[in-house]
Chain A
């Protein structure tokens, strides 16, 4: 063991390319975590396991950027929330117009379209939905009366493209199309060319009109969803969740788990090992036997049983990981302190009558610090992969979406054999990259602390 000063370590470290690469990756990850914490509100990720909050998202949608590499563009899932609003009050009839424009530029039909609204009105009202196509054709989709409300109260509804009356209305206008509309769904007709059943590109306008006899009638929330097969930067999963949210939030969680577990277990192991080595004799013997016992416990089965029976909270898991993490470090720390103990200055300090705790903290521990930093870095990936493994088995903390849990869901829904690569690749790459950053830093530190390994 060599004694290296902190400045030497710093200098050596910045000469090491791999070490710098590790630091760069780590800073990117930390930046990602900060971005995630700032941009995505805590409420969003707390809703991760609540299917209700993801309802307007598409199922297993491919990431949007895939379209850049395809000649046939996959329709994007679009959620339009800000319509152009007009009011018209003539005589006794008031009309509310909500107008959604959408530029449809894809080579496949959308999955569906959904109009979601809540309206505040009194008396009876009529809701009309029309579409103006890029070729100028005006199609009537729906004309339906909303339930009669006495006072100014709110009515919420979702109109799906699968609605029977939409289909009936379209069949009535079948003369505009030169092919049979019988077995086609509404979106396949609306977005089709008139001469043959192929997507028609261009600007579409969805026009929603509400007729009533009260001038205070209003559509409050108005949302048009054009269901597509591509969505977001990272796509969505089977449960319609935006994977970007899970991946981003997984970063701070993984860093938290990895760093807390490794720092705590290194500190614990260091103190334990140094104390055992320093005291020696019976204390050492007893402490090392206990160490042997923990060392021989099969970690994974135990972690599984613990999280099944006690709690699957992420904080409890961090504690369990520490219990299994300190053992190896304690062994090395002990043998190192056995060596340091025999050095002149320690013996001098003993003879001067310094207390044991002072000798350990002042004279032995500082010597072990470089080793400690290297082991912290090296043991981070193990902590992250163990947590990911447990989450993968379905034992993760449901209130915190980690990368392992995303992969668990992917496995449950057979993502691999269905070819849903965007569900499998990113979480694993994130786990590996995070691990690699720490392995790089650890290796660089290690080669400074143990010059023998350099060759």
Chain B
């Protein structure tokens, strides 16, 4: 299989997954969505008529007026295509097409910081903050992890190695969000260093906003890094241990190449493909975990938006956010696959 063909099959699979995700989401929330849309139409028609007193004045009786309003509503529903049941193929197709083109409609309850209820605007406002927090965290985690992993991988059985391995095992069984609660308890209740809520109090138009945002970011960032770097170091360590037994490394050792040079330039270079792949995967994985972590720290990103949308059942936002999260997830899986295929030609053949 050539690289082109490999990329092609991957792309088709990813698009298929995206479509399936969308279809399942639409099917799951469709009936609720339908009643919300219809209520919206009723509300719209009524408010238009009350804004225009002339229409109501032209009727002699209440019954006549009510039947006029009912007719208007039915007409509107028909023009919008809402008269068909929500599970009809046309409507599902239309909904999916709208979502594909990032037209998520209007949120039912939630608004963006600037007051807009357009789902696309809300998501665009929250997304950069999530990316800021989780990308920073992933970068720090991977840097610490790679160096600690390389260090303990080259000294198997040393104290550092044992500590790293046991820390990795222990930290991976603690939920990040629970550690988050403990961190809030420690650093904003016992020692009042960081704020408990990660949402800055000043409006986003303020010039100090960025600084305040970064200050509020500290606690979630420390937590994510603390829980994350152990398993990373463990992973890198295992790769290095495997590579250190390869013939070419042993040969280098015997001809007297410096140990440090062997680890950091030769061994790490060979461990790079799986490490880069896992980096791409863990970035997307952290986006999924963001839902709970952001809820704990009240970080104003996508995860908290998702959480809030669930609590008030704001379906347009749930659909929009699921879509965006899925897209990010798929893109990173795709990149990971590509990198793996690029670095390791065996994958393409197999």
Contact of A431 among B175, B288, B310, B321 (CB under 8 A): B175
Measured CB to CB, the closest approach of chain B to A389, in angstroms, equals 5
Measured CB to CB, the closest approach of chain B to A251, in angstroms, equals 16
Residue among A296, A417, A425 having the largest count of chain B Cβ atoms under 10 Å: A296
Q: Which residues of chain B have C-beta atoms less than 8 A from A306's C-beta?
A: 28
Besides A415-B181, A432-B170, 11 other A-B contacts (C-beta < 8 A):
A292-B13, A293-B17, A301-B291, A305-B28, A305-B318, A306-B28, A395-B310, A407-B178, A416-B196, A431-B175, A455-B156
Q: Which residues of chain B have C-beta atoms less than 8 A from A261's C-beta?
A: none
Q: Flag if A385 contacts B175 (CB, 8 Å).
A: yes
Residue among B177, B288, B321 having the largest count of chain A Cβ atoms under 10 Å: B177
A114 lies within 8 A of chain B by Cβ: no
Q: Flag if A393 contacts B184 (CB, 8 Å).
A: no
Measured CB to CB, the closest approach of chain B to A442, in angstroms, equals 10
Measured CB to CB, the closest approach of chain A to B195, in angstroms, equals 9
A225 lies within 8 A of chain B by Cβ: no
Which residue numbers of A lie inside 8 Å of B, CB to CB? 289, 292-293, 296-302, 304-306, 308-310, 381, 385, 388-389, 392-395, 407, 410-411, 414-419, 421, 424-425, 427-428, 431-432, 435-436, 439-440, 443, 452-453, 455
Q: Flag if A416 contacts B175 (CB, 8 Å).
A: no
Contact of A443 among B25, B169, B184 (CB under 8 A): B169
Contact of A428 among B169, B181, B330 (CB under 8 A): B181
B218 lies within 8 A of chain A by Cβ: no
Contact of B29 among A309, A407, A432, A443 (CB under 8 A): A309
Q: Flag if A419 contacts B313 (CB, 8 Å).
A: no
Q: Flag if B175 contacts A301 (CB, 8 Å).
A: no
5 contacts between A and B (CB under 8 A): A298-B326, A301-B322, A425-B182, A435-B173, A443-B169
CA distance A289 to B14 in the complex (A): 11
Contact of B175 among A309, A310, A388 (CB under 8 A): A388
Q: Which of B57-65, B139-147, B185-193, B200-208 contacts A (4 or more CB under 8 A)?
A: B185-193
B307 lies within 8 A of chain A by Cβ: yes
Q: Flag if B181 contacts A424 (CB, 8 Å).
A: yes
Contact of B182 among A308, A385, A416 (CB under 8 A): A416
Contact of B174 among A296, A299, A411, A428 (CB under 8 A): A428
B70 lies within 8 A of chain A by Cβ: no
CA distance A306 to B318 in the complex (A): 12
CA distance A452 to B243 in the complex (A): 13
Residue among B175, B242, B295, B311 having the largest count of chain A Cβ atoms under 10 Å: B175
Q: Which residues of chain B have C-beta atoms less than 8 A from A394's C-beta?
A: 310-311
Q: Which residues of chain B have C-beta atoms less than 8 A from A443's C-beta?
A: 169
CA distance A455 to B239 in the complex (A): 12
B16 lies within 8 A of chain A by Cβ: yes
Contact of A381 among B29, B32, B173, B306 (CB under 8 A): B173
Q: Which residues of chain B have C-beta atoms less than 8 A from A425's C-beta?
A: 182
B104 lies within 8 A of chain A by Cβ: no
Q: Flag if A417 contacts B29 (CB, 8 Å).
A: no
Q: Which residues of chain B have C-beta atoms less than 8 A from A293's C-beta?
A: 13, 16-17, 20
CA distance A453 to B311 in the complex (A): 45
Q: Flag if A298 contacts B329 (CB, 8 Å).
A: yes
> Considering only CB atoms, which chain B residue lies closest to A298 in the complex?
B329
Contact of B291 among A304, A419, A436 (CB under 8 A): A304
Among B132-182, those with CB < 8 Å from A are 156, 169-170, 172-175, 177-179, 181-182
CA distance A427 to B311 in the complex (A): 23
Measured CB to CB, the closest approach of chain B to A132, in angstroms, equals 42
Contact of B173 among A407, A417, A432, A455 (CB under 8 A): A432
Contact of B185 among A407, A421, A427, A440 (CB under 8 A): A421
Known contacts A293-B20, A305-B318, A431-B175, A393 near B13 by CB under 8 Å: no
CA distance A388 to B173 in the complex (A): 12
Q: Flag if A417 contacts B184 (CB, 8 Å).
A: yes
B73 lies within 8 A of chain A by Cβ: no
Q: Flag if B185 contacts A298 (CB, 8 Å).
A: no
Q: Flag if B288 contacts A416 (CB, 8 Å).
A: no
Q: Which residues of chain A have C-beta atoms less than 8 A from B318's C-beta?
A: 305, 308
Q: Flag if B175 contacts A305 (CB, 8 Å).
A: no
CA distance A174 to B17 in the complex (A): 79
Q: Flag if B181 contacts A410 (CB, 8 Å).
A: yes
Q: Which residues of chain A have C-beta atoms less than 8 A from B249's C-beta?
A: none
Q: Which residues of chain B have C-beta atoms less than 8 A from A424's C-beta?
A: 178, 181-182, 185
B333 lies within 8 A of chain A by Cβ: yes
> Considering only CB atoms, which chain A residue lies closest to B296 in the complex?
A411
Q: Flag if B292 contacts A393 (CB, 8 Å).
A: yes
